Amino acid sequence: MAKILIPTPLRQFAEKNNSVAVDATTVGEALASLTTQFPDLRKNLFNDEGKLRSFVNVYVNDEDIRYLQKDATAVGDGDTISIVPSIAGGRC
Amino acid sequence: MLTQEEVSRYSRHLIMPEVGVDGQEKLKAAKVLLIGTGGLGAPVAMYLAAAGVGTIGLVDFDVVDVSNLQRQVIHGTKDIGKKKIDSAEETMRDINPLIKIVKHEVALTSENALAIMCNYDIIADGTDNFPTRFLINDACVMLNKPNVYASIFRFEGQATIFAAEGGPCYRCLYPEPPPPGLVPSCAEGGVLGILPGVVGLIQATEVVKLILGAGEPLIGRLMLYDALAMRFRELKLRKNPECICSTGDMKLIDYDHFCGIQKPEPPPLVGEISPKDVKTMIESRQDFILIDVREPHEFQIGRIPTSNLIPLGELPKRIAELDPNAHYVLHCKMGGRSAKGCDVLRAAGFKRVFNMTGGITAWSEQVDPTVPKY
C-alpha cells in the first residue's frame, strides 16, 4: 500500500482525511483509486480533459512526478505520494 | 563601519564567527523589500529590523483591522484604523531606531513593480493572493533578485527561495494559478494565528542567510510545515527547462486577467441579491429557503436566524433533500463559496437560486451589526 497525503485545502473533499492508503502500482492508479473513493476531489485535481491541474503538483517521496515518469511513476509499499497545491495566503 | 552604538546592540551577533563584524556590516548594507505587512510580513519585519538589516522597504496599502490582530503581531490594538505601513514602521523603529525604513504605500502592480523592486537586493513575498505572487515572481526573474517566498493556509505553510541564481522560479513549480474560487483564501478558509509566525521566521532566516552567504539556502527545496502534525517535510524543486524563466519570454502582464479575476466592480450578475433585499424578504415572510454554506464552526460565530446550514462541501450530497422548484438564497462569509453553491444547485436543474452578495460580512455591515464580523 502507498500512502497519499491530502493537503489541508483539499481535506474537505476527502471526508477530512489527512492521509489515505491506496493499493496501486503507479501514481496514476493511486490517484484514480483516491478519486473513486472521494469523487469530490476529482475536479480539484484534474481538468476537464482528465489531466492533472497545473496548480497541483504530485510528488512521490521528495521528487516531483513531472521529473519521474509522470502518471506512470511506480509506487509501492512505504512510498508516500504528496499532493501539493498552490496556496496564496500570507498578508491576510 | 559599525558605530559604537551598533557594536553594543549587535554584540550577540558579533561574537558569533558565522556573523561577526563582517556579517553585521553585510546586514547593515543590505536592502530588503517586504511585500505585505500582514501575517508573514509582521515577524519578518520585526526580526529583520532587530537583526540590523540596514534598509527595509515595506509595501502595503491596507489599514489595520481588529481581525488582523490574532496574528499580525507588528500591529496592536491602538493601531486599529491606522495604515499598516505606518503602524509597522512605528513598531520597527521602537525595536531598532538605527535602520532605514522605506515606505511604499501602494498596491504592487505591473506598472510600478520593477521601479520599486530594483532598489533592493532581496525580496520577501508575504502577500495573500495569486496575481501579486506571480507578479513578484516574474519581476524577480527579470531583475535577477531572489524571492524569499512563503505562504500559509489554516495549519499549513510552504516556504522556499525562488528566482535565485540558477534556481527554480514560482512558475517552475506552478505554471498557472488556480481559477478563482477553487482554492479558498485565508479570509475564507481561516488561518491559525501562530502559523505565520513560524513560517514568516523561516523567511526571515533565509533572508539573513542570503545576506550573510551562510549555510545552505532554501533554494531548490520546498519546505512544507504542518502545524497540527508538527512536522516539516522537504520536497525537491527543479528548474523547469520549459518554464518562461528559462526560455527568456518573461514580461510583466495583466495578472488579474491571468488569474481569471474580474476587474473591480463587475456588473451584478443575474441571480444575485443584496442583504437588504433578503431582510425585506424575511420580514415580508416571503416563501424562500435561506441556506448558509459555511462550515459549522463559522455558523457558531454568528448566523442569520432563519438560515439552514449546509456546508458547501456537503451540498452535492444533500441536494436530494432539497426541492428543485423552491426559491433559494445562499450565503457564506463573503459571497465566494455561496456563488459556487448556486452553481451546484443550478447545474442540478434548480431554477430559482440567488446568491446574497457580500455574505454575512455584508449582512453585518448593512443589516444587523449584532452579527459579529470575523
Any domain includes A16: yes
Torsion sign, CA atoms B247, B130, B153, A30: negative
* Percent of chain B predicted with pLDDT > 90: 79
**Contact by Cβ (8 Å): B58, B75:** no
pLDDT per position as a tens digit, A38-90 = 998 998 899 888 888 888 999 999 999 999 999 999 999 999 999 998 887 76
Q: Does some domain include residue A10?
A: yes
No. of helices (H) and no. of strands (E), chain A: 3, 5
CATH number at residue A62: 3.10.20.30
Distance from CA of B211 to the nearest CA of A (A): 23
- Catalytically annotated residue among B169, B172, B245, B332: B332
Is B332 annotated as catalytic? yes
**Complex prediction ipTM:** 0.88
Query: Is residue A22 assigned to a domain?
Result: yes
Residue A42 lies inside a defined structural domain of this protein: yes
Say how many domains are in chain A: 1
Is B184 near chain A, with CB under 8 Å?
Answer: yes
Shortest Cα distance, chain A CAs vs residue B40, angstroms: 5
* pLDDT above 70 as % of chain B: 95
Q: How far from B97 is each of A6, B57, B246, CA to CA, in Å?
A: 45, 15, 42
DSSP 3-state of A43: helix
The predicted structure's pLDDT at residue B188: 66
User: Cell 480533459 belongs to which residue?
Assistant: A49
pLDDT in tens, B280-330: 889 888 889 999 999 999 999 999 999 999 999 999 989 888 988 889 999
Check if B342 is active-site: no
B129 touches chain A (CB under 8 A): yes
**CA B265/CA B191 separation, integer angstroms:** 27
CA of residue B121 relative to chain centroid, distance = 22
- A91: in domain: no
Q: Residue A92 domain-assigned?
A: no
So what's the pLDDT on residue B267? 45
Residues ≥6 apart with Cβ < 8 Å to B291: B307, B308, B309, B310, B328, B329, B330, B331, B341
Domain that holds residue A19: 2-85
The answer on pLDDT for B359 being more than 90 is yes
Residue B273, phi then psi, degrees to nearest 5: -145, 140
Q: Which residues of B touch A16 (CB under 8 A)?
A: none
Supply the pLDDT for residue B186: 58
Asked if the structure places residue A34 within a domain, the reply is: yes
**Least reliable range by pLDDT among A48-52, A59-63, B155-159, B180-184:** B180-184
